Amino acid sequence: MAHRNDLTAWEAFGLIIPAAFLTTPYLWSYDQILYLIPVVWIAVRLVDRTRGYVAPFIFMTVLVLGSIVGPVDLCETRSDLASLLTTGLVAASALS
């Protein structure tokens, strides 16, 4: 309880949601709608840091293109492990 004030609620959600996806026994791409919460938080932080919309636009573009890789790879390999790319990108962005 001593470290309760180290993270804001947004920071906690930004880390808990990707961590929850990493600990589930499945990684289905369509279940990642919950990433909306940390993605919005990351975009708002990018706008605050850069005082512009270019960085959030680039982040969202990379995230969308990375998210497309998962279903395409699933069709070719029948393995949904490529959806880890989205989880990794959201988790890394939330930590930075």
Q: Are the C-beta atoms of residues 44 and 95 closer than 8 Å to each other?
A: no
Average pLDDT, integer, range 69-80: 81
* 32-72 pLDDT tens trace: 777 888 889 899 999 999 999 999 999 999 998 888 887 88
10 Å Cβ neighbour count for 1? 4
What are 11-21's pLDDT values in tens digits?
Answer: 887 888 888 77
The answer to whether the CB of 59 falls within 8 A of the CB of 42 is yes
44 in a domain, yes or no? yes
Whether residue 3 is contained in a domain is answered as no
Tell me whether residue 56 is in a domain: yes
Backbone angles phi, psi at 79, to 5 degrees: -125, 135
Question: Is residue 2, in this structure, part of any structural domain at all?
Answer: no
Q: Does some domain include residue 58?
A: yes
Q: Structure pTM?
A: 0.73
Q: Is 1 a domain residue?
A: no
Would you give the distance in Å from CA 31 to the centre of its chain? 12
Range of the domain at 34: 8-95
How many domains does the chain divide into? Answer: 1
